[in-house]
Structure 1
């Protein structure tokens, strides 16, 4: 309340003060008790607590009051409550010439390290607007390092937990792969040997038939 009486804030005449208690409103205890207890308390209260005797305030005309020129027009609700612009980031992104603002050294450092940069609010002191860049364009040194550490931890976790199963496990392991390759080569060589044996039998049969035919021709020639 005292701050409102500052002439630099508003021009209101300083009102008069009136004490809280009067002489007849207080009880009348014995003199000894009043001198020892009540008097110091009353002096402290009178120095710190008070009420205003009069108050002079000149209020501006109400926005809801009817206009003499337009008595039947409804008041504009937008003029009753003036709020701050919560979309001020659009204004902060442009300069006086409506051009995109250049980033300062601090914002460039934030962009390199974190992939974002902050701009101080104009209507809300102490607050900042934060612009985040797409991670595909600029992820930032610190987030990239954190992602690398996280991925390395996960890779080490999978290596420690699943390495045994990948070497000697029953499914998708190196042992199963070796046995599978061995079965493949065994099957392939077996089919090759069976095919070769069949070819040998056919060749031998044709050879024997040719030999028999030659012997018959020789016998017929001698008889003639």
Structure 2
């Protein structure tokens, strides 16, 4: 039987990651990083010059995990494994972040229309002095999007808190012809890989 007292810290504001952890029965508490402090965010998500997408998403994820670990120590919280993750969308080697407005969201969707792109989700687990990390990559093929489809989608709240201006778990699912990789990874937390890392950190899944 799984130890009911096993619990992790989740260093993520994403409601989708919370849902996915609950799906596999992982107990967690939120350990949220700050977007604004007098010195700026706890972790900057700015892309470094000439930084490749896979290097970027891995770096940001580990920085989130390390910052959460420091927060755990500063607050004298119970010591538990910490899980952090970051997801980015890339096409033609360029990172597509979260759109700032409707025009930017529309431009991203036009770029993805009728083409295949990659969704990269990196996950990191830290426990004590040990850390484990991997990045899962999925290929996503969009159908050709009409201007009417793009306009209607951008009139919803869906595109604006998601990398690449869409979420597979929402209405944009109808845009997707096929995926090769991890459906949950595209949502923001690849469950197979997450379970592997958590088990290495001593968290029993089943």
Relative to the length of structure 2, the TM-score reads 0.18
Higher strand fraction (1 or 2): 2
Structure number with higher relative contact order (C-alpha < 8 Å, ≥ 6 residues apart):
2
Rg larger in structure: 1
Higher helix fraction (1 or 2): 1
